[in-house]
Amino acid sequence: MKKYMAFSKIFFKAQIIYRFDVAVTAIEALGRILFAWLIWGAVFAGRDVVGGFTFRSMLLYYVVSSCIATLDICFGVSSEINHEVRNGLYTKFMVIPINQQLYWLSKNLGVVSYLAMFVLPVALISGWLFGAGGYAGQPAAAILGLLMIPLGLAFMVTFHFFIGIHAFKFHDVGFFIYFQSALVQFTQGGVIPINLLPDTVLNILRLLPFPHVIYTPSMLLIGGMDFREGLFSAGVLIVWLAGMSAAAQFAYKRLRIKYDGVGI
Amino acid sequence: MNVITTQGLSKIYKRFEKEAGLKGSVKSLFNRKFTEKHAVSAFDLNIEKGEFVGLIGPNGAGKTTLVKMLTGIIAPTSGEISVLGYYPNKLENAFKKQYAVVMGQKSQLFFELTPTDTFRLFKELYAIPDDLYKRNVGYFVELFGVSQFLNVQVRTLSLGERMKMELIVALLHSPGVLFLDEPTIGLDAASQRQMRLFLKEVNREKGTTILLTSHYMEDVRSLCPRSIVIGGGAKIYDGSTDNLFDSYQTRKKITLAFDTETDFTVPYNCELIDKSPYKVVFMAPKDGDARLISTLAQEYTPIDISAEEEDIGAVVERIYAGGMNR
């Protein structure tokens, strides 16, 4: 495990090299609160409740979910693998003694740790600003919500690793990346809170992992979901994570053998 | 003891082919045609521990494919292969810990960070004990003379400095076998010379088996006692580098300079390269060049005569073009 921590550390270090980038990340994180205020202020104009959310709870949901979404940088995993495989550069990872999947997980952990330095304070400030009147949910649900964030992010990295390594066979997985990003964004509640959707759709979505990456932890954290429901979601996520890990390992072993890297 | 063994090793690639133009592109959507390319054919190879071997061949000869099979990056189509006792394409970590690859155009360094940051990462990757890490870093930093660059951003290093750092990264874990793919590509003459000195030293001092692929014949000639020439995926020469060059470097370049206008007649069996009233350059057979020079000196009384080894590029072209038949 030590070598993967070393990867996390080196990618964390790489993030804090440029002071301007660090400053922009900090400003962007704080700007999130202002942006939420403006957007949802317009949506709620003249209304007290939208889809079961009050203005303050919607703001809180938006800020918390967008903070988690910021940490979800897994999109880069499939794109990067796709690029490296297409250009024959992936070989540099194949010749060093690492587990490929753990490498991408640890790389993401390094970058996410950096981003967390900014989004965590923003989430806490938002809780204090918009959660006036005290936390209405169960403390156990909030803890579960916190635990589900790394689980969800790990699933997304594994899922994108799985997509990316298909470049060994298909040479370009750009279409898969595009298709899944639209689907995932919708099902994660990154566009709208998914409890605004019809019940039938909601029941299907509950069995998919994507809503449990951003939506479920956000709802648990803002007190909008009870512990039992959260536990079911965590179970779904764990099953998907285990399944996706096994599928990714299996696919990597099979697909890398098909890799020829002709002309490179 | 052999550290690399292959027997009847072959690699066949499937390549997609289509007719030119829009019609050809549309047609290929429905009726895809593939052709087979034999990148490496029935290749037998034995390399002993501590050897420094040069792998020479023109573009598309199969050099890189062979190195990719030896490092496990790609799987052979048929034949037997063993590197350090392992089947490379299994890509076992225990195997990967015993070799290193330096590919001129694929960097293992983190460009935003310092070389020391990458060294530390590789220390963990290869579980290098503290004392060995310190000893190796100290040894290579001194050998390569790069102590002043250890704490600067890799991005700001020159290509030569970066290549030295790449080599240190590759050698930190004391690999048994080092694969070098065009390590001097893009380097200026001075850096190339320096790099050759370092590699020679590493091979001698550490006993590292090195397989070098290079287009620069000077790399191979000055570093590798043994050369393998590969063409069309097949081995066309495997033996002493000196013998290889002796066999193919059959001519010398003779230059004569005069202080007065001279009407020079090119001797029999020689090829004129350049001629002016005051200077003449021609290629002469290597055998008997001393006798020829002495005759010319008496006949033309030049102010200067020089005889140089034939340009290595021309020799290489002849090797590639003629195979072993010359």
Between CA B60 and CA B71 the distance in angstroms is: 18
All structural domains of chain B with their residue ranges: 49-246, 251-309
Residues in chain A within 8 Å Cβ distance of B107: 92
Q: Is the pLDDT of residue A108 over 90?
A: yes
Mean of the pLDDT values across residues B30-36? Answer: 82
Contact between B57 and B316 under an 8 Å Cβ cutoff? The reply is no
User: How many inter-chain contacts (A to B, CB under 8 Å) are there?
Assistant: 71
Q: Is the pLDDT of residue B326 over 60?
A: no
Mean of the pLDDT values across residues B173-199? Answer: 86
Nearest one of B192, B217, B200 to B320, comparing CA atoms: B217
- A228 Cβ under 8 Å from any chain B Cβ: no
Contact B106 A259 (CB under 8 A): no
Between CA A256 and CA B88 the distance in angstroms is: 13
Using only C-alpha atoms, chain A has a radius of gyration, in whole angstroms, of 20
What pLDDT score was predicted for residue B325?
45
Q: Which of B75, B117, B120 sits opposite A257 (nearest CB)?
A: B75
Read off the pTM.
0.82
- B117 Cβ under 8 Å from any chain A Cβ: yes
Contact B117 A92 (CB under 8 A): no
Overall residue count recorded for chain A in this entry: 264
Q: Is the pLDDT of residue A192 over 80?
A: no
Q: Is the pLDDT of residue A49 over 50?
A: yes
What pLDDT score was predicted for residue A244?
96
Question: Chain B residue with minimal CA distance to A6?
Answer: B121
Q: What percent of chain B has pLDDT over 90?
A: 42
Between CA A255 and CA B12 the distance in angstroms is: 17
Nearest one of B83, B79, B86, B84 to B234, comparing CA atoms: B79
SS3 content of chain A, % helix, strand, coil (to 5): 75, 0, 20
Contact between B117 and B110 under an 8 Å Cβ cutoff? The reply is yes
What's the mean pLDDT when you consider all of chain B?
A: 87
Provide ipTM, 2 decimals.
0.80
**Residue B78, SS3?**
strand
- B103 Cβ under 8 Å from any chain A Cβ: yes
Q: What Cα–Cα distance (Å) separates residue A155 from each residue in A64, A105, A147, A242, A246?
A: 19, 9, 13, 9, 12
Q: Which of B13, B113, B153 sits opposite A260 (nearest CB)?
A: B13
Between CA B66 and CA B57 the distance in angstroms is: 11
Q: Is the pLDDT of residue A190 over 70?
A: no
Number of Cα atoms under 13 Å in the Cβ half of residue B9: 30
Lowest-confidence segment of A113-117, A118-122, B92-96 by average pLDDT: A118-122
pLDDT band with cut points at 50, 70 and 90 for residue B93: very high
Number of Cα atoms under 13 Å in the Cβ half of residue B262: 19
Q: Is the pLDDT of residue B48 over 70?
A: yes
| CB interface of A with B, residues 54-93, below 8 Å | 89, 91-92
Contact A97 B103 (CB under 8 A): no
- A42 Cβ under 8 Å from any chain B Cβ: no
Q: What is the pLDDT of residues B113-153, one digit of tens each?
A: 999 999 999 999 999 999 999 999 999 898 888 899 999 99
What pLDDT score was predicted for residue A264?
47
Residues in chain B within 8 Å Cβ distance of A94: 72-73, 91
Number of Cα atoms under 13 Å in the Cβ half of residue A159: 22
Q: Which residues pair with A122 in a beta bridge?
A: none
Residues in chain A within 8 Å Cβ distance of B37: 262
Mean of the pLDDT values across residues B80-105? Answer: 91
A103 burial type by CB count under 10 A (0-12 exposed, 13-18 middle, 19+ buried): middle
Residue B159 identity: L
All structural domains of chain A with their residue ranges: 2-258
Number of Cα atoms under 13 Å in the Cβ half of residue A9: 13
pLDDT band with cut points at 50, 70 and 90 for residue A63: confident
Give, as one character, the DSSP assignment of residue B106. Answer: B
Between CA B250 and CA B310 the distance in angstroms is: 8
- A16 Cβ under 8 Å from any chain B Cβ: no
Place of tokens 């938002």: A126
Mean of the pLDDT values across residues B20-36? Answer: 83
The CATH number given to B251-309 is 3.30.70
CA distance A23 to chain B (A): 17
Question: Chain B residue with minimal CA distance to A5?
Answer: B124
**Residue B228, SS3?**
strand
Q: What is the pLDDT of residues A170-183, one digit of tens each?
A: 888 888 888 888 88
| CB interface of B with A, residues 208-247, below 8 Å | none
Between CA A97 and CA A103 the distance in angstroms is: 10
What's the mean pLDDT when you consider all of chain A?
A: 85
Range B49-246 has CATH code 3.40.50.300:
yes
What pLDDT score was predicted for residue A41?
76
Residue A2 identity: K
- A39 Cβ under 8 Å from any chain B Cβ: no
What pLDDT score was predicted for residue A163?
93
Mean of the pLDDT values across residues B238-248? Answer: 86
Residue B148 identity: Q
Mean of the pLDDT values across residues A215-237? Answer: 90
